[in-house]
């Protein structure tokens, strides 16, 4: 088709499971031809909506939707300042939608446009949490019965829970945790799990950047005997220089990147082979266009992909993850939160999980749609998160 232009760009906010999701719909002058993209930055969803509606839309109207690379490059510098989560998510929503349109024009699923299948499905990991070690074990065993062989294990959420905290008077509100008690509980947890499960399952853990660098190094080393599949986000982006020390101390595989925005954050880790898995939030870095380039870069250095896939990625974003997984030679593992029936009603065509593997469908483009009438039944609430307000026992605010 020739002379197709972008006719309209809209953001759709919906929260079928109480988590704010941001989806961008790019409509074209060809009747019925549109694309969907994920722009979900849950904690600042209204800022992303404004970026799309007030800035991206006038920038895009009248442009050729098939010129994905040029649109991505020019959109990233349109605001002059770049590599921030709000604008990158806005660009991502458009970028994914343009790839969706490209696939529909070609009559092919996205993975075919990325080089075709390297595998039939992508192995996923699920989350097993619990109030104590026994409850975590029970949840792990339940997931194993469902066919999962990669399971992330947490005890009491990020930073742990149930520890005795000694706090000063008039301590400010926040998500308090004790780093020393947390690390002790993690070591005991994996000793317990390996004792009861053996070495059959691949176990993972996410520190969620809760530790001081030297404590993170010590934890990675102490977990080495339990042979984790990987230790996730052990350090915050501001402390990436510590990965050199971590690598010199132990062989625990490391996954990193959930909070990354800027290529300067991941380039040294990849080039120096200081991590084993890259796990960026694809919409956070600008969508499919930069993610496919990042995957290819990682392949040259022996780093595998493990894209971020929690509940605050829309099913459109999960579909994009899966297409990249299927087409990337250096795929490692895919985080999977599970898509409820309600989400699947709002987003027809969701990828499907069977026996621990997620499968894309063969519909053109991303293969997923959005029922706007259903989406409108679940409006987003504009509320500030509390779990991000991590504090040490003395009340000190810590990242993330």
DSSP string, 44-60: GHHHHHHIIIIIIHHHH
Q: Is the pLDDT of residue 102 over 90?
A: yes
Helix pair 85-106, 68-78: axis angle to 10 deg: 170
| 380 within domain boundaries | no
DSSP secondary structure letter of residue 228: -
More confident residue, 400 or 94: 94
pLDDT tens track for 209-254: 999 999 999 999 999 999 999 999 999 999 999 999 999 999 999 9
| 20 within domain boundaries | no
Token pair, residue 67, equals 């010129």
Bridge-based pairing of strands 390-391 and 122-128 is unpaired
The catalytic position among 208, 281, 308, 318 is 208
pLDDT tens track for 349-397: 999 999 999 999 999 999 999 999 999 999 998 888 888 889 999 999 9
| 187 within domain boundaries | yes
Q: What is the DSSP string of 210-223?
A: -S-HHHHHHHHHHT
pLDDT tens track for 290-330: 999 999 999 999 999 999 999 999 999 999 999 999 999 99
Instruction: Using alpha carbons, list the distances in angstroms from residue 280 to 200, 255, 389.
Output: 28, 10, 22
pLDDT tens track for 60-96: 999 999 999 999 999 999 999 999 999 999 999 999 9
Do the beta carbons of residue 65 and residue 101 sit within 8 Å? yes
| 122 within domain boundaries | yes
> What is the model's pLDDT at position 163?
80
| 87 within domain boundaries | no
Domain span including residue 209: 112-362
CATH number for the domain spanning 314: value is: 3.20.20.120
| 48 within domain boundaries | no
| 184 within domain boundaries | yes
Please count the structural domains in the chain: 1
SS3 for 248? helix
Q: Is the pLDDT of residue 162 over 80?
A: no
The closest alpha carbon to 130, from 175, 177, 162, 165, belongs to 162
Confidence of residue 179 (pLDDT cuts 50, 70, 90): very high
| 105 within domain boundaries | no
Annotation says 158 is catalytic: yes
Name the average pLDDT for the chain: 95
Annotation says 359 is catalytic: no
> What is the model's pLDDT at position 1?
64
> What is the model's pLDDT at position 260?
95
């Amino acid at each position: 088709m020739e002379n197709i232009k972008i006719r309209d760009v809209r953001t759709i906010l919906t929260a079928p499971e109480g988590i704010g999701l941001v989806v961008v719909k790019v409509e074209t002058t060809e009747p019925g031809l549109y694309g969907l993209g994920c722009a979900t930055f849950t904690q600042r969803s209204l800022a992303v909506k404004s970026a799309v509606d007030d800035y991206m839309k006038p920038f895009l109207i009248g442009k050729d939707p098939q010129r994905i690379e040029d649109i991505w490059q020019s959109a990233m510098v349109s605001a002059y300042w770049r590599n921030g989560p709000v604008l990158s998510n806005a660009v991502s929503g458009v970028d994914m939608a343009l790839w969706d349109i490209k696939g529909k024009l070609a009559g092919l699923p996205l993975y075919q446009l990325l080089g075709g299948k390297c595998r039939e499905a992508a192995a996923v990991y699920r989350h097993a949490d619990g109030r104590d070690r026994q409850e975590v074990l029970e949840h792990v065993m339940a997931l194993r019965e469902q066919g999962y062989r990669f399971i992330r294990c947490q005890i009491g959420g990020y930073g742990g829970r149930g520890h005795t905290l000694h706090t000063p008077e008039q301590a400010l509100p926040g998500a308090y945790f004790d780093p020393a008690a947390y690390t002790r509980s993690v070591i005991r947890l994996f000793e317990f799990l390996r004792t009861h499960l053996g070495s059959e399952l691949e176990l993972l853990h996410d520190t969620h950047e809760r530790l001081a660098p030297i404590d993170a190094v010590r934890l990675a080393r102490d977990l080495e005997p339990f042979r984790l599949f990987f230790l996730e986000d052990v350090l915050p982006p501001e402390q990436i220089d510590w990965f050199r020390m971590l690598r010199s101390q132990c062989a625990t595989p490391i996954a990193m990147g959930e909070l990354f925005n800027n290529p300067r954050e991941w380039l040294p880790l990849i080039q120096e082979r200081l991590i084993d898995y890259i796990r960026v939030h694809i919409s956070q870095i600008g969508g499919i266009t930069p993610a496919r380039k990042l995957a290819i870069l990682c392949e040259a250095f022996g780093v595998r992909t493990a894209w971020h896939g929690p509940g605050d990625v829309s099913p459109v974003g999960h579909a994009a993850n899966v297409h990249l997984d299927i087409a990337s030679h250096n795929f490692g593992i895919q985080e999977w939160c599970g898509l409820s029936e309600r989400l699947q009603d709002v987003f027809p065509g969701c990828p499907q999980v069977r026996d621990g593997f997620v499968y894309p469908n063969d519909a053109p483009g991303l293969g997923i749609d959005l029922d706007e009438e259903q989406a409108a039944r679940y409006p987003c609430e504009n509320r500030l998160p509390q779990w991000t307000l991590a504090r040490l026992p003395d009340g000190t605010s810590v990242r993330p």
